[in-house]
């Protein structure tokens, strides 16, 4: 029977719209077609599981069983391009310990069954203390050469040395160590008979004020020193008091000065001299949470061994002057932060650089002309920087010596 043209067209349309049959070629025949040089009937590489170099079959890889070396490089093919992934650096236990932030571990008060209290020191205080001593051995601070303990003249009598130590402490309030040292030097060299009780009694207040005018609050300190000289003559037989109560009764002398004076002048450690350096740094370490230096002194004396009462002030004052500054702490240069011992560490903190304008004298012809220009960079904390420029020659910019008093507003 002959098929009409309409029937044939209909059949072609139906055939075109129907889904095509999926090929049933085997993987082996596909591999054979892909590798025509392989003899018929041989096993193709694609038809067998991969094997290891020792001949054992690796089989199907399980998730999580293959370890990738930490420093290996991975290649990924995307289309016709190959993308290389950079090696991943392994994080060692030492790196992790450096990056972790220390926890605050303050001293704890524990009440015993009999009702008395005992104080358990901070867990890591000895490591923190010894590390700070290591840092201070390598750093010379202003307090090491110009501190109040080292300003008395060794050629004077013990009584005069004790008086000079007391006067040094009275002048040091809110004053940098170099300024205090210069004022004491003025008194020692310019008072008739040197710095002694008799000279302080005789000197005119205006002259005394002139000799110490560089220190902070010199007008008030002039009054305190004149009043103290009278009290020492009338009540203490011309010598300084040998008790804390007697020292704090003097005008201008507080607990910090009294304990430091007892230690430096009389050689007796009856308490810890806590200034703003000791107060600030021990709170940053998390040893306690106090709001005044007197509270800090009470907390430290409750657990710190007595043999360290004398040295802790000198230790932390120098540390605060050079490393743990009140403004711009150098955490990036401090081993306490690197060892994960300081809970207040600021990652990467270091002194900022700034452009410094210095008035430089430049000789031009017969005269001397003053020019002002940007001569280089100096640290915020007073590091000396040397700069060379063709038009200004070699210039040395001397920064200021940092001290805690810069952070205390005058009242």
Length of the chain: 411
Predicted local distance difference test score (pLDDT) of residue 63: 54
Confidence tier at 43 by pLDDT (50, 70, 90): very low
Q: What is the mean pLDDT of residues 278-300?
A: 95
CA distances 401 to 22, 177, 179, 328, 382, Å, are 87, 9, 10, 14, 6
Q: What is the pLDDT of residues 82-115, one digit of tens each?
A: 445 445 445 455 554 445 566 777 777 777 677 6
Look at 3-7, 161-165, 207-211 and tell me which has the smallest mean pLDDT.
3-7
Predicted local distance difference test score (pLDDT) of residue 106: 73
Please indicate whether residue 248 or residue 382 has the higher confidence score (pLDDT): 248
Q: What is the mean pLDDT of residues 405-409?
A: 39
- Catalytic pick among 226, 256, 371, 396: 256
- What distance in Å separates the CA atoms of residue 233 and residue 198, rounded to the nearest whole number? 9
Q: 259: part of which helix (H) or strand (E)?
A: helix 255-265
Confidence tier at 37 by pLDDT (50, 70, 90): low
Kindly report the backbone phi and psi dihedral angles of residue 370, in degrees, each rounded to the nearest multiple of 5, phi listed first. -90, 130
CA distances 383 to 45, 266, 399, Å, are 71, 37, 6
Q: Where are the domains of the chain?
A: 106-138+271-350, 140-270, 354-407
CATH number of the 106-138+271-350 domain: 1.10.1670.10
Average pLDDT for the chain: 75
Please indicate whether residue 97 or residue 157 has the higher confidence score (pLDDT): 157
Confidence tier at 117 by pLDDT (50, 70, 90): confident
Predicted local distance difference test score (pLDDT) of residue 93: 52
Assess contact for 222 and 209: CB atoms under 8 A.
Answer: yes
Question: What DSSP assignment string belongs to 308-377?
Answer: GTTHHHHHHHHHHHHTS-SSS--GGG-HHHHTT--TT--TT--PPEEEEEEEEEEEETTEEEEEEEEEEE
Predicted local distance difference test score (pLDDT) of residue 348: 58
Predicted local distance difference test score (pLDDT) of residue 86: 46
Predicted local distance difference test score (pLDDT) of residue 107: 73
Question: At residue 69, does pLDDT exceed 60?
Answer: no
Predicted local distance difference test score (pLDDT) of residue 396: 43
- What distance in Å separates the CA atoms of residue 146 and residue 184, rounded to the nearest whole number? 10
Predicted local distance difference test score (pLDDT) of residue 183: 96
Look at 7-21, 252-266, 348-362, 394-408 and tell me which has the smallest mean pLDDT.
394-408
Predicted local distance difference test score (pLDDT) of residue 44: 45
Look at 95-109, 138-152, 203-217, 280-294 and tell me which has the smallest mean pLDDT.
95-109
Q: 45: part of which helix (H) or strand (E)?
A: none
CA distances 372 to 320, 356, 375, Å, are 34, 10, 9
Predicted local distance difference test score (pLDDT) of residue 3: 57
Question: At residue 116, does pLDDT exceed 90?
Answer: no
For 140-270, which CATH class?
mainly alpha
Question: At residue 215, does pLDDT exceed 70?
Answer: yes
Residue 256 designated active-site: yes
Please indicate whether residue 11 or residue 294 has the higher confidence score (pLDDT): 294
Predicted local distance difference test score (pLDDT) of residue 346: 84
Q: What percent of the chain has pLDDT over 90?
A: 51
Look at 22-26, 118-122, 179-183, 325-329 and tell me which has the smallest mean pLDDT.
22-26
- What distance in Å separates the CA atoms of residue 4 and residue 1, rounded to the nearest whole number? 9
Predicted local distance difference test score (pLDDT) of residue 112: 67
Kindly report the backbone phi and psi dihedral angles of residue 260, in degrees, each rounded to the nearest multiple of 5, phi listed first. -70, -40
Assess contact for 334 and 323: CB atoms under 8 A.
Answer: yes
Q: What is the pLDDT of residues 235-265, one digit of tens each?
A: 999 999 999 999 999 999 999 999 999 999 9
């Amino acid at each position: 029977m002959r098929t009409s043209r309409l029937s044939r067209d209909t059949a072609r349309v139906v055939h075109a719209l129907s889904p095509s049959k999926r090929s049933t070629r085997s993987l082996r025949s596909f591999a054979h077609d892909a590798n025509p040089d392989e003899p018929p009937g041989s096993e193709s590489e694609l038809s067998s599981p991969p094997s290891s170099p020792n001949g054992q079959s690796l089989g199907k890889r399980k998730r999580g069983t293959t370890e990738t070396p930490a420093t290996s490089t991975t290649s990924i093919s995307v289309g016709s391009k190959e993308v290389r992934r950079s090696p991943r650096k392994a994080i060692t236990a030492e790196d992790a310990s450096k990056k972790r932030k220390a926890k605050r571990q303050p001293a704890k008060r524990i009440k015993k069954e009999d009702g008395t209290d005992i104080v358990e020191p901070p867990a890591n205080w000895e490591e923190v203390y010894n590390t700070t001593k290591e840092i201070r051995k390598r750093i010379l601070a202003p307090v090491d050469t110009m501190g109040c303990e080292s300003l008395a003249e060794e050629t004077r009598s013990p009584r005069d040395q004790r008086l000079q130590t007391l006067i040094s402490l009275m002048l040091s309030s809110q004053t940098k160590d170099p300024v205090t040292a210069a004022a004491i030097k003025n008194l020692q060299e310019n008072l008739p008979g040197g710095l002694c009780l008799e000279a302080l009694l005789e000197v005119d207040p205006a002259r005394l004020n002139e000799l110490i005018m560089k220190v902070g609050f010199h007008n008030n300190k002039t009054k305190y020193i004149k009043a103290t000289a009278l009290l020492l003559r009338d009540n203490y037989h011309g010598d300084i008091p040998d008790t804390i109560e007697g020292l704090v009764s003097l005008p201008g002398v507080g607990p910090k000065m009294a304990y430091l004076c007892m230690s430096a002048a009389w050689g007796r450690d009856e308490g810890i001299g806590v200034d703003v350096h000791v107060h600030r740094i021990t709170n940053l370490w998390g040893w306690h949470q106090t709001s005044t230096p007197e509270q800090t002194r009470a907390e430290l004396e409750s657990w710190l061994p007595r043999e360290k009462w004398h040295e802790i002030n000198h230790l932390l004052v120098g540390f605060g002057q050079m490393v743990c500054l009140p403004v711009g702490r150098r955490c990036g240069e401090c081993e306490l932060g690197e060892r994960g011992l300081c809970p207040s560490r600021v990652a990467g903190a270091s002194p900022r650089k700034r452009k410094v304008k210095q008035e430089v004298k430049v000789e031009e012809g017969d005269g001397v002309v003053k020019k002002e220009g940007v001569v280089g960079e100096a640290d915020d904390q007073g590091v000396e920087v040397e700069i060379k420029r063709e038009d200004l020659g070699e210039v040395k910019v001397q920064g200021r010596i940092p001290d805690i008093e810069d952070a205390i507003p005058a009242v």
